[in-house]
Amino acid sequence: MISILALVLLAAAPAAPADPIDPFEAELRAAVQKFGGDAGAAPQEFKDAVRRYRDELRQRKDLPAILASKDRYWPSITRELAAKSLPAEFGFVALAESHFDPLARSENSAGLWQFTAPTARRFGLRVDDTADERLDADKSSRAAAAYLAALVAEFGPESFMLALASYNAGESAVRRGLEQVARGKGGLRNAAHDYFELYRQSLFNEETRAYVPRIIAAALVAQESRPR
């Protein structure tokens, strides 16, 4: 009788409260899905990197100016991406590269998308002693969309994040990483075009390892800034 009563009381007892959902985890999952990835497969180190870069970007004193520049060039960027059937979120490559500054220059690169001269010419931009179309926001966005589309075509539409990594590291580096995975335990089964597998095995260099988390962090911050 006592056992039956105990079971009845146990069944009637309120369920233990579920663990609170981390808002960051929910936002990360949604953002990674837009980039064609599965946040459930993301290593904790990757998640920590996205959180860290998100917080760094939030704290920048020039963040309002960066977002204002983003809003200025976003229509052109997303139009060119859409013309190549690419997600608008790829536009945050321009934040990682230049903070949406069309006149940005580094030692070897220039423009919104920080093209090197050889890559710019490969995708139809004029770069010579009299003209540098990398500094033309519309033309360089068209070239960037073409380049990103070529990367997606190589690595597969299920591998958007590999395409993003390739934009930073180059196609050859990502190919070598995939080949190394294929030679390891599990062989070709683990050599599917899985960004997180290469990340987990540290097959990207330090700069590329940070690159995709920075892009996703930028997408999170831009989402936060949208009017409610």
Domain-embedded: residue 120: yes
Query: Is the per-residue pLDDT at 154 higher than 50?
Result: yes
Domain-embedded: residue 1: no
pLDDT, residue 186, reads 62
Q: Can you give the CATH number for the domain in which 196 is found? A: 1.10.530.10
Do residues 115 and 143 touch, judged by C-beta distance below 8 A? yes
Q: How far apart are CA 39 and CA 77, in angstroms?
A: 26
pLDDT, residue 19, reads 52
**What single DSSP character describes residue 219?**
H
**Per-residue model confidence as pLDDT tens digits over 78-127:** 999 999 999 999 999 999 999 999 999 998 999 999 999 999 999 999 99
Query: Is the per-residue pLDDT at 194 higher than 90?
Result: no
Q: How far apart are CA 126 and CA 117, in angstroms?
A: 9
Domain-embedded: residue 133: yes
3-state secondary structure of 80: helix
Domain-embedded: residue 176: yes
Helix or strand holding residue 198 (H, E): helix 195-200
Lowest mean pLDDT among 6-15, 60-69, 140-149, 213-222: 6-15
Q: How many domains does the chain have?
A: 1
pLDDT, residue 155, reads 86
Which DSSP string do the residues of 118-183 spell out, in sequence order? HHHHHTT--BSSS-BGGG-HHHHHHHHHHHHHHHHHHH-TT-HHHHHHHHHH-HHHHHHHHHHHHH
% of the chain surpassing 90 pLDDT: 64
Closest CA to 27 of 197, 208, 218: 218
Q: How far apart are CA 113 and CA 137, in angstroms?
A: 9
Closest CA to 94 of 50, 52, 148: 148
Do residues 111 and 98 touch, judged by C-beta distance below 8 A? yes
Domain-embedded: residue 123: yes
Domain-embedded: residue 148: yes
Closest CA to 32 of 199, 201, 226, 227: 199
Range of the structural domain that residue 71 is part of: 39-225
Q: How far apart are CA 129 and CA 143, in angstroms?
A: 20
Owner of token pair 């990207």 = 204
Domain-embedded: residue 29: no
pLDDT, residue 9, reads 47
Which DSSP string do the residues of 47-77 spell out, in sequence order? HHHHHHHHHHHHT-TTHHHHHHHHHHHHHHH
pTM value?
0.85
**Per-residue model confidence as pLDDT tens digits over 18-48:** 556 678 889 999 988 888 888 888 999 999 9
